[in-house]
Amino acid sequence: MTPREWAAWMEGYSMREEDAWRRTRTLYSIIYNSHVVRHNQLKPEELIPLPGDNTETMHVKVLSDEEREEIKRKLRI
Please state the rounded mean pLDDT for residues 11-23.
92
The pLDDT, as a whole number, for residue 46 is: 86
pLDDT value, residue 50: 83
pTM over cut 0.85 = no
H-helix or E-strand spanning residue 73: helix 65-75
> What is the percent of the chain with per-residue pLDDT over 90, rounded to a whole number?
40
41-62 tens-digit pLDDT = 988 888 888 887 775 655 667 8
